[in-house]
Structure 1
Amino acid sequence: MRLKNLPLEGFVVLYFFAYIPNILITKLLASKIEPTLGRPLTGLEILPSSLIINLVLTYLFIWLAKWYKDANQFSYGNRSFPIPSKYTFFSSIGTALVLFTVPLSYTFKDVSIPFIQLIMRGDILIIAPLVDTLFGRRVRWWSWAALVMVFIALAITVTDRGKLGLPPLAIATIVLYTLGYFIRLLVMTKVSKTGDPASVRKYFVEEKILALPLSVLFLAILGLSGIGSQASELSWGFLGVWQSQAILPIFGISFTLTIVSIFAAIILLDKRENSYCVPLERASSLLAGLIAAYLLAIFWGLRAPTAAEMIGACILIAAILLLSLAPRFDAKKKRNQNASSAPPANPITEK
């Protein structure tokens, strides 16, 4: 089956399997000793090179797949170049915030992957119906039900932990991530949730060609600021990492991140309401995080998910099934109702 004919749930599955190795590699780099430094890498040491490589790989994909042809163009002489529109310009800023906060969230010491993911994804689930309401889009019952289910999963996990207990950088990461996604969803709903594949390609190109260099620029400015140990970590991340043994796994992070970003755009830009698409994508990423956490515990001796995190994951699986099956049952019910209410065929007019 060609990817363009794949149902939305098929892209969710591909997204899920691409996300697992991304989380595994990122967490291992932040947990195992790097020989050059004699300690595990911090998130700020991993981010610069991973974003730079992601930038190169994404630009390469846009060129090879010819997605740039659907984007807004700027002409210079005999050549034209894709550029953001006024809306995707703002979305690029939001995406830049998301790009460096997601991998950073997997690197905090004593903060489990399922926990930080539940906190970050829970914020986005509040935003999704809010954006739908702002744009007058109908939110169906199964979207509300899935939203409640994910909130329950979040509440169980936070209650089990007893408190948030997050370091300041983790709190800043959550805030910036939520702000970035809010901007993205606003722009997506405004310009691209039409169901037209060309609009998906257009949005993806216009957003990424600016968001990726912006995310690198944000990190470079922080590094040049000279503020505390974070500046020295970023300096190593920009310069020292290229001669270290970490560069190969960082390439793996960037490669999988490129794939994840493509599938995420397809899922979130589906024409259905944000309250449907967002829980589907968020729950899938949460489940990927949980599976990755178990693999890290089994094969690398890291902390396994708690019972509460496991219960939360089961609720998320139920939410995914609800979002996948309820619309199909509803569509089938409507077809049957229309068929039963249609007038019988007149044999005379049929002739």
Structure 2
Amino acid sequence: MGFLDNLKKRLAVFGIAALCFGYFAAYVPYSMMTKMLTKGLFSGMGGVGFSGFEIQPVVIFASSLSMFLFLTFSGWWKYATHSKVLGISIPRPQWFTLISGICTSGQIITTTLAYTFEGVSIVFAMLLMRGGVLVLAPIVDLVAVRRKRKIYWPSWVAAILSFSALTVALFGKVGTSMTVVAICDISLYLFVYFFRLFFMSNRAKSDDVEEKKRYFTEEQMVANLFLFAALFVVGLVGAQMSAESIPGKIWEGFTLFPFKGHTLQAFLIGVFSYGTGLFGSLIFLDKRENTFTVPANRSASIIAGVIATYLLAIFYGQRLPPAHELIGVVLIIGAIAFLAYRSAMDRKLKRQEAGSRRQEVGSGKQEARSKK
């Protein structure tokens, strides 16, 4: 635990910037490997990839295992709500972390699927998903009345720039190649994200560290286990259906895909997927308004998506991002600049408050001595 405590102290110095870097570092291999596995770019695949639904069982299993290992080695299981069953203390969710966890499970699977659709680039999918959530962020801040937060002007500017990036992306020709399944996938992603942010804002965004850890542990516990169980049930239904149907492909993911020689790549996608979920959730749980934390999270993933796209183009001959997508990225970088200014405002305010408290304490001591 000495190493973990030391690591926590070092990361605390960088605050949300360290979480954004962790999110970015996990997102590059996650998005890149997902595209490679579904387009057949790994060695020995010969350009024949797997269906996005087919790889899900292994990906979600790896994500669930990563979740269990992190919560175990970090010791965070103790923060979850517990109930006794036959004399054994079992961690369980509260009603709001149960709903938030189910929403998170929808976010996990729709994110991975978004990078598997033919004709939709990593950057374009990111601009749609991330831009959409950025639009939702100030709405959540306005409707989350349980813990109302003031939205500062740099956060508004960052959200507007991010929305502009989404608008620019939608003018690209690639948007016309989106299938009905892709549109439904991204729509579901935005739908579940709204409710996840809403419950986080009302129940967990505060200075209480234990409250944050409790929320995170319960939410992640529900998300991964619920998603894996749901996939298995759908797969069982798919066993009686055509192999070309979505349930049929999921069943093949359980029964055939693990023996086709690319299980390790899918497993690593799941590990990196959990990495994005870990760092991303901790960013969202920052006590500041969603109009600040959401752009911070989304900006890191947009930059990661651009880097992954360029790596695919350089090493695997995939297409480079078109001009309209790069313009969207530039707008996102502009949003980051305003977020950095917002962070500087916070640090300045904290220094002023600390100085005022020291001055009050000093005045109180001086007054006490004069009375003597």
Shared fold (TM-score, shorter chain, > 0.5): yes
Structure 1 residues 320 and 248, CA gap change in structure 2 (3 angstroms): same
Q: Which of residues 124, 141, 154 is equivalent to 2:153?
A: 141
Equivalent in the alignment of 1:233: 249
Q: CA deviation at 1:98?
A: 0.5
Equivalent in the alignment of 1:114: 123
Q: Following the alignment from structure 1 to structure 2, what is the Cα–Cα distance between the partners of residues 193 and 333? A: 19
- Matched position secondary structure for 1:111: coil
Deviation per residue, 1:21-73 (Å, 9 max, x gap): 11111110011168689821110011111001211221121112110100100
Equivalent in the alignment of 1:196: 208
Q: Which of residues 316, 332, 341 is equivalent to 2:332?
A: 316
- Corresponding position: 1:282 with 2:298: yes
Q: Which of residues 105, 110, 121 is equivalent to 1:101?
A: 110
- Corresponding position: 1:41 with 2:50: yes
Q: Which runs of 5+ in 2 are unaligned?
A: 1-5
Deviation per residue, 1:192-241 (Å, 9 max, x gap): 10122222221121112221122123333433153653233212111112
Equivalent in the alignment of 1:301: 317
Q: Do the aligned partners of 1:95 and 1:180 also contact (CA within 8 Å) in 2?
A: yes
Q: CA deviation at 1:338?
A: 10
- Matched position secondary structure for 2:171: helix
Structure 1 residues 191 and 329, CA gap change in structure 2 (3 angstroms): closer
Q: Which amino acid aligns with 1:114?
A: V
Q: Which amino acid aligns with 1:129?
A: P
Q: Which amino acid aligns with 1:117?
A: M
> Which residues in structure 2 correspond to 1:195-214 (within 5 Å)?
195-214=207-226
Equivalent in the alignment of 1:3: 8
- Corresponding position: 1:131 with 2:140: yes
Q: Which amino acid aligns with 1:263?
A: F
> Which residues in structure 2 correspond to 1:210-225 (within 5 Å)?
210-223=222-235, 224-225=237-238
Q: Larger deviation: 248-257 or 98-107?
A: 248-257
Q: Which of residues 56, 59, 66 is equivalent to 2:65?
A: 56
Equivalent in the alignment of 2:279: 263
Q: Following the alignment from structure 1 to structure 2, what is the Cα–Cα distance between the partners of residues 60 and 51? A: 14
Structure 1 residues 33 and 71, CA gap change in structure 2 (3 angstroms): same
Q: Do the aligned partners of 2:120 and 2:174 also contact (CA within 8 Å) in 1?
A: no
Q: Which amino acid aligns with 1:121?
A: R
Q: Do the aligned partners of 1:157 and 1:312 also contact (CA within 8 Å) in 2?
A: yes
Q: Do the aligned partners of 1:89 and 1:210 also contact (CA within 8 Å) in 2?
A: yes
Deviation per residue, 1:163-200 (Å, 9 max, x gap): 44411111111111111111211111121101222222
Q: CA deviation at 1:271?
A: 0.3
Structure 1 residues 318 and 74, CA gap change in structure 2 (3 angstroms): same
Q: Following the alignment from structure 1 to structure 2, what is the Cα–Cα distance between the partners of residues 272 and 241? A: 43
Structure 1 residues 317 and 244, CA gap change in structure 2 (3 angstroms): same
- Matched position secondary structure for 2:55: helix
- Corresponding position: 1:66 with 2:81: no
Equivalent in the alignment of 2:23: 15
Q: Larger deviation: 325-334 or 277-286?
A: 325-334
Q: Following the alignment from structure 1 to structure 2, what is the Cα–Cα distance between the partners of residues 267 and 327? A: 13
- Corresponding position: 1:25 with 2:28: no
- Matched position secondary structure for 1:45: coil
Q: Which amino acid aligns with 1:235?
A: W
Q: Do the aligned partners of 1:115 and 1:309 also contact (CA within 8 Å) in 2?
A: yes
Aligned residues: 349
Q: Larger deviation: 116-125 or 329-338?
A: 329-338
Q: Following the alignment from structure 1 to structure 2, what is the Cα–Cα distance between the partners of residues 165 and 247? A: 30
Q: CA deviation at 1:330?
A: 6.0
Q: Following the alignment from structure 1 to structure 2, what is the Cα–Cα distance between the partners of residues 162 and 173? A: 16
Q: Following the alignment from structure 2 to structure 1, what is the Cα–Cα distance between the partners of residues 301 and 254? A: 28
Q: Which amino acid aligns with 1:216?
A: F
Q: Which runs of 5+ in 1 are unaligned?
A: none
RMSD: 2.7
Q: Following the alignment from structure 2 to structure 1, what is the Cα–Cα distance between the partners of residues 301 and 326? A: 14
Q: Do the aligned partners of 1:82 and 1:205 also contact (CA within 8 Å) in 2?
A: no
Q: Which amino acid aligns with 1:31?
A: K
Structure 1 residues 229 and 38, CA gap change in structure 2 (3 angstroms): farther
Q: Which amino acid aligns with 1:3?
A: K
Q: Percent identity?
A: 33
